[in-house]
């Protein structure tokens, strides 16, 4: 029987993530449908022993020189030759029923993409639902702006409907929100409340809120703003942009970096943000005044 699904797993395949990658590969090969697992090795940090174990488990390996995970996904998509495909992060797993549960929705030939729910396993071992799925297929673009429902392991895509170009130049933050928003604007998406994947938090090097993260989010939201003329989506994105600037302002304020804190705070004050985020204005003025006063006292010397 010809394989129905290709599961693409981008990875550095380094020593520290070897056991997690092997876990991911085995889960994809254990699906209840015929599956190809394609491991896209990103960069030159890979451990040969890890690749031998992955190959021995039954996965195909493709090595690329790119150092970006989004580009590795795009390259993986280019190599898909099955009717359906999906992705899996190298530290997460698919549950065996993910195959039949997702594929049954593609019996409707107008469906381009199937999204299911999953579990997030926290570092203390608790399993909590990953997301709340949209109430209907019609509000996918709006709902993903309120809470992201798309993860690497959450969907299968019809190969003829979702091309490699859809994965080109995705941002390094909010990449799944960006992809889900764009696809929801043009595709028919089926949603299933069944739990078909597990997002683990036990692997090292997961993304944390850094300076680059809080700087990038407003830019990503502005790019999404250019994708639509729908008034409801535009209003929501305007609110999200102001909120992202406020988050960045608060981040810098907590770090004592008042220059960028002011820059982001002023950007957050348009529209309703003028009142919603005005409490930070007084905090910034107070701390700025104290900083100026300290500088003046240090610079003053008695004669």
Are 74 and 169 in a shared domain? yes
Residue 206 lies in a domain: no
Give the chain's radius of gyration (CA, Å): 23
Contact assessment for residue 112 and residue 105, using Cβ atoms and an 8 Å cutoff: no
For residues 219 and 268, membership in a common domain is answered with yes
Same domain, 187 and 228: no
Cβ neighbours of 163 (radius 10 Å):
14
Q: pLDDT by residue (tens digit) across 55-88?
A: 999 999 999 997 788 899 999 999 999 999 999 9
For residues 186 and 232, give the distance between their C-alpha atoms in angstroms, rounded to a whole number: 16
Do 114 and 220 fall into the same domain? Answer: no
| Helix and strand totals (H; E) in the chain | 11, 9
Q: Can you give the pLDDT at residue 2?
A: 77
Inside any domain, residue 205? no
Read off the tokens for 175. Answer: 């990449």
Per residue of the chain (303 residues), give pLDDT as tens: 578 999 999 999 999 999 999 999 999 999 999 999 999 999 888 999 999 999 999 999 999 997 788 899 999 999 999 999 999 999 999 999 999 999 999 999 999 999 999 999 988 888 899 988 987 777 899 999 999 999 999 999 999 999 999 999 999 899 999 999 999 999 999 999 999 999 987 665 555 457 788 899 999 999 999 999 999 999 999 999 999 999 999 898 888 888 888 899 889 987 765 657 777 766 666 765 555 555 554 554 544
- The domain boundary, picked from 181, 200, 219, lies at 200
Looking at the structure, tell me whether residues 292 and 236 fall in a common domain: yes
Task: Evaluate whether 199 touches 151 at the Cβ level (below 8 Å).
Answer: yes
Residue 290 and residue 211: Cα distance in Å, rounded?
24
Residues 167 and 100 in one domain: yes
Q: How far apart are CA 133 and CA 153, in angstroms?
A: 14
- Tell me if 155 is assigned to some domain: yes
Domain, as residue range, for 232: 211-299
Q: Are residues 69 and 29 in the same domain?
A: yes
Q: Are residues 55 and 114 in the same domain?
A: yes
Inside any domain, residue 248 = yes
**Residue 299, C-beta contacts closer than 8 angstroms, at least 6 positions apart:** none
Is 152 in contact with 178 (CB distance < 8 Å)? no
CB atoms within 10 A of CB 85: 23
The single-letter DSSP state of residue 111 is -
Q: What is the CATH number of the domain that holds 39?
A: 3.90.550.10
Structure confidence by residue, pLDDT tens digits, 115-139:
999 999 988 888 899 988 987 777 8
Rounded to 5°, angle at Cα 39 from 130 and 152: 20
């Amino acid at each position: 029987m010809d394989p129905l699904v290709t599961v693409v797993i981008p990875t550095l395949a380094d020593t520290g993530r070897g056991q997690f990658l092997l876990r991911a590969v085995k889960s994809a090969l254990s699906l209840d449908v015929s599956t190809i697992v394609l491991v896209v090795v990103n960069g030159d940090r890979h451990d040969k022993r890890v690749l031998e174990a992955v190959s021995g488990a039954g996965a195909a390996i493709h090595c690329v020189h790119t150092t970006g995970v989004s580009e590795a996904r795009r390259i993986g998509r280019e190599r898909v030759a099955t009717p359906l495909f999906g992705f899996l992060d190298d530290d997460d797993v698919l549950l065996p029923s993910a195959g039949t549960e997702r594929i049954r929705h593609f019996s409707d030939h107008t469906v381009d993409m199937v999204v299911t729910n999953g579990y997030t396993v926290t570092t203390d071992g608790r399993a909590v639902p990953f997301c709340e799925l949209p109430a209907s297929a019609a509000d996918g673009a709006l709902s993903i702006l309120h809470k992201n429902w798309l993860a690497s392991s959450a969907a299968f895509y019809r190969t003829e409907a979702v091309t490699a170009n859809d994965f080109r130049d995705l941002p390094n933050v909010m990449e799944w929100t960006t992809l889900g928003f764009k696809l929801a604007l043009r595709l028919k998406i089926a949603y299933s409340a069944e739990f078909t994947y597990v997002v683990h938090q036990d692997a090292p090097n997961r993304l944390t809120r850094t300076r680059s993260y809080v700087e990038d989010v407003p830019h990503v939201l502005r790019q999404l703003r250019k994708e639509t003329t729908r008034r409801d989506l535009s209003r929501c994105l305007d609110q999200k942009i102001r909120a992202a600037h406020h988050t960045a302002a608060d981040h810098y304020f907590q770090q004592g970096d008042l220059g960028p804190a002011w820059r982001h705070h002023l950007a957050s004050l348009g529209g309703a943000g003028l009142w919603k985020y005005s409490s930070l204005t007084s905090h910034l003025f107070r701390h700025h005044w104290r900083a100026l006063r300290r500088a003046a006292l240090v610079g003053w010397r008695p004669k």
